[in-house]
Amino acid sequence: MGAKLSGPGGQGGKTISQNSEINVTPFVDIMLVLLIIFMVAAPLATVSIKLDLPPATPPASDEPVEPVYITIQETGSIFIADAQSAIETLPADVCAAVGNPTGRGCTEERVFVRAQPEVKYEQFMEVMNTLQENGFFKVGLLNEDIE
């Protein structure tokens, strides 16, 4: 804040009154300097790398593969789609359901496992462990059949 001193024409002495106006000139000067600094520095902070990207069109020959569903019923019965299977023949039956009975590359396909709520945890984990031991690592779990 600034102060004004009045001269001899005032109230017979020196009186001090307050000046309540803000001097914004230094503030504007600082803002303009910062604006110029950021305008010069912003383009220098940008990093550009030239990339040669492949076209975004998907290959036309690949058709989506029908997923394989393994269902575990409360009695312990295992079904692959509509065909019944046993825990001993589960990997071979899954490969046959994928469409690759030779077993080569069938472990790369995604398999979905769903179980009824009454299935014991032991039965469920037996199916999961059998799939994992035979190389089926892309296993999805379904908790509800949405139609």
Q: Which CATH architecture has domain 68-142?
A: 2-Layer Sandwich (3.30)
Band of pLDDT at residue 43, cut at 50, 70 and 90: confident
Is residue 60 scored above 80 in pLDDT? Answer: no
**CA proximity to 127, closest of 117, 138, 115, 142:** 115
First to last CA, the chain: 75
Which tens digits make up the pLDDT trace of 68-90?
899 999 888 899 988 888 888 88
Inform me whether the pLDDT recorded for 1 exceeds 60: no
Percent of the chain surpassing pLDDT 90 = 20
In a 10 Å sphere around its CB, with 0-12 CB exposed, 13-18 middle and 19+ buried, how is residue 88 labelled? exposed
CA distance 52 to 75: 56
Q: Judge whether residue 127 has pLDDT over 60.
A: yes
Closest by CA position to 113, among listed 74, 70, 79: 70
The residues spanned by each domain of the chain are 2-44, 68-142
